[in-house]
Amino acid sequence: MLPSIFNVAMLSVSEVEKIILDLVKPFDPEFDSEILPLPQAIARILAEDIQSELDFPHWDNSAMDGYALCYADLENLQELKLAIATDEIPAGIAIAQRLAQGECMRIFTGGMLPVGADTVIMQEDTERIDNFLQLNIKPTQGEYVRRKGEFIKAGTTLLRAGTKLGATEIGALASARCQMVKVYRQPKIAIISTGNELVSLNSPQPLQLGQIIDSNLYAISTLIAQMGAIAIPFGMINDNKAKLEKVMQQAIAEADIVISTGGVSVGDYDFIDEILEKMGADIYVRSVAIKPGKPLTVAFLTSALNVNGSEDKVLYFGVPGNPVSAMMIFWRFIRGAIAKLNGSNESYWYPQFIKAIANAELNSQGRRETYLWGQLTYPKGKPVFQPVQNYSSGNLISAIGTNALAVMRINQTYVPIGDEVIVMLI
C-alpha cells in the first residue's frame, strides 16, 4: 500500500474499497469472541468451525406417511400386494420388530425404518384391503427413505467460522445439540455528528432558523445496528477544533471504528482532516470519485496497546454531512469494513450487484461513479429499477424506501428507459 501522504488525489471507488479492506484487521477468534447461548447468537458471526457430533439423520427414517417395505420382495410378485404387519411405526419410537419377508409395515413421517425394510411407499399410492396393501405403483428402491448420515456425517464440519447465524444456521445448530456457540463480539462503532447547525432530536426548544436535527446519528445508527454492531453516540460537536479533537480522542480510545459526519469538505468550518493530521493519523483517502459522497476521509490511528501487546489501530471515516451522502458511504464502504472486522467470511465484504432494467432514464455527468437511489422490484419475475426523480444528496426524504442503487460508471452519462443497468443491492 502507498504511504498515506501520496493519496491526496481523488481516488476511484475500487481503489478506496481496496485501501479500506487492506487496513481492516479482522477480529481475533481468541480475544474478540464470546460464548453465547444459541438463542442469543442471532445474526452473530461464528468464531470457530462447528463439527457435527451426530449423524444426520440419526437413523434411517421415513420421509412420508406410508408403508415400509423391502424392495426385493416386490421382484417376483404376480400382483403388487403385500401383507400388512401388525406393528406400526410412529415418529419417536425405536422399532424392535424386524420386517418379515413379504410384509410391509405402516410407518409415519420421521418414523424409524424397521430392520429388513429399505423403501417406503407413500400412502397416496396404495389401497388397504383388510390386512393387505395394494400398491398402485411400483416404488423405486430406497424411495422416501432418509438414510442415516445422508445429510451430514458425525465428525464433519457443519458450519465454518465466519458464517453469519440466520434462521437456517441457528436451526441446524439446535438440531446438532449445540447449546452454546462461540461468536465474535459486536464491533463498537462511534458516531460523532459535527456542525454548529445541529440540534438534538430530544431538544425541547423549537427549531431556530438555520438549525436542523442531527438525523445522521439516527440513520447511521440504524445501519450499524442492522450489521449487528453497536453504535456509540459521541454527541453533536460544534465546528470548534479544540472540542472536536477532544471528542475524537475519546471516540478513538473506545471504539473499533469511528465515523464522524460533516466537516470534511473544503469549507472554512471543515476541520476533521486538520485535526486528524495533528493527532498523527495516517490519512489514506481524502476524496473519492463517487457521487454522492466525494469528500470522504479515511484515516488510520493508533488507539492503545491491545491485550497481545501490539498496537490497536482504529479506522476513522470522516463522511460528508449530507444525509444521503453519509448513507451512501456507509453502504458502499463502511459496511464492508465492518463485515471484515467482525470476522464474516469474505463473501460479505463486498456489495452485491445485479443487472436490472431501468424503468426511467438515468443521467449522470459521468465524471464520478454515480449511485442513483431508488427501488428494485420484480414485476413478472424480472428485476426492474425505478429511480427517484430528485437526486439531491441533502434530501433524505427522497431516499425513503430505497432498496437499491443504480451504478453509473465514469463516462457513462445516460441509460435510456428499458436498457440494462448495474444495480447495487443494499
Instruction: Give CA–CA dist 224/317, Å, rounded.
Output: 14
Instruction: Give CA–CA dist 317/192, Å, rounded.
Output: 10
- Which partner in Mg ion, ligand AMP, none is near 216 (CB below 5 to 8 A by kind)? ligand AMP
Using the rule CB under 6 A, which residue among 103, 214, 256, 282 binds ligand AMP? Answer: 214
Q: Cβ of residue 372: shortest distance to Mg ion, in angstroms?
A: 25
Looking only at the bridges linking them, the beta strands covering 33-37 and 180-184 are antiparallel
Q: In the complex with ligand AMP, which residue's Cβ is closer, 66 or 323?
A: 323
Stretch that binds ligand AMP, among 45-53, 70-78, 155-163, 257-265 (CB under 6 A): 257-265
Q: In the complex with Mg ion, which residue's Cβ is closer, 94 or 209?
A: 209
Indicate left, alpha or beta for 297 from its phi (over 0: left) and psi (-120 to 50: alpha): beta
Q: In the complex with ligand AMP, which residue's Cβ is closer, 290 or 341?
A: 290
Regarding 193 and contact with ligand AMP (CB under 6 A), the answer is yes
- Which partner in ligand AMP, Mg ion, none is near 198 (CB below 5 to 8 A by kind)? ligand AMP
Regarding 261 and contact with ligand AMP (CB under 6 A), the answer is yes
Q: Cβ of residue 269: shortest distance to ligand AMP, in angstroms?
A: 7
Using the rule CB under 6 A, which residue among 43, 83, 199, 212 binds ligand AMP? Answer: 212
Regarding 211 and contact with ligand AMP (CB under 6 A), the answer is no
Regarding 412 and contact with ligand AMP (CB under 6 A), the answer is no
**C-beta separation of 232 from 202 below 8 A:** no
Instruction: Output the CA–CA distances (angstroms, integers) from residue 304 to 4, 313, 345, in the order listed.
Output: 20, 8, 27
Q: Which segments of 264-310 are extended strands (E)? A: 282-285, 290-291, 297-305
Of 370-409, which residues contact ligand AMP (CB under 6 A)? 394
Regarding 273 and contact with ligand AMP (CB under 6 A), the answer is no
Stretch that binds ligand AMP, among 72-80, 226-234, 246-254, 259-267 (CB under 6 A): 259-267
Regarding 195 and contact with ligand AMP (CB under 6 A), the answer is yes
- Integer-rounded Cα Rg, in Å, for the chain is 30
From 332, 333, 372, 335, select the one nearest 356 (Cα to Cα): 372
Hunting for cell 468464531 — which residue is that?
A: 47
211-227: b or e for each residue (b if 16 or more CB lie within 10 Å)? eebbebbebbbebbeeb
Instruction: Give CA–CA dist 168/190, Å, rounded.
Output: 32
Cβ contacts of 202 within 8 Å, gap of 6 or more: none
Helix (H), strand (E) at residue 106: strand 103-107
Stretch that binds ligand AMP, among 321-329, 383-391, 403-411, 415-423 (CB under 6 A): 321-329
- Which partner in Mg ion, ligand AMP, none is near 287 (CB below 5 to 8 A by kind)? none
Q: In the complex with ligand AMP, which residue's Cβ is closer, 145 or 290?
A: 290
Q: In the complex with Mg ion, which residue's Cβ is closer, 262 or 293?
A: 262
Q: In the complex with Mg ion, which residue's Cβ is closer, 169 or 273?
A: 273
From 156, 425, 192, 163, select the one nearest 316 (Cα to Cα): 192
Regarding 321 and contact with ligand AMP (CB under 6 A), the answer is yes
Q: In the complex with ligand AMP, which residue's Cβ is closer, 4 or 215?
A: 215
Indicate left, alpha or beta for 385 from its phi (over 0: left) and psi (-120 to 50: alpha): beta
Q: In the complex with Mg ion, which residue's Cβ is closer, 232 or 236?
A: 236
**C-beta separation of 420 from 355 below 8 A:** yes
- Which partner in ligand AMP, Mg ion, none is near 292 (CB below 5 to 8 A by kind)? none
Regarding 198 and contact with ligand AMP (CB under 6 A), the answer is yes
3-state secondary structure at position 343: coil
Q: Cβ of residue 262: shortest distance to ligand AMP, in angstroms?
A: 3
Of 277-316, which residues contact ligand AMP (CB under 6 A)? none
Instruction: Output the CA–CA distances (angstroms, integers) from residue 215 to 121, 337, 426, in the order listed.
Output: 62, 23, 20
Instruction: Output the CA–CA distances (angstroms, integers) from residue 191 to 183, 212, 297, in the order listed.
Output: 24, 17, 15
Q: In the complex with ligand AMP, which residue's Cβ is closer, 61 or 393?
A: 393
By CB under 6 A, name the binding residues for ligand AMP: 193, 195, 197-198, 212, 214-216, 261-263, 265, 267, 320-323, 394
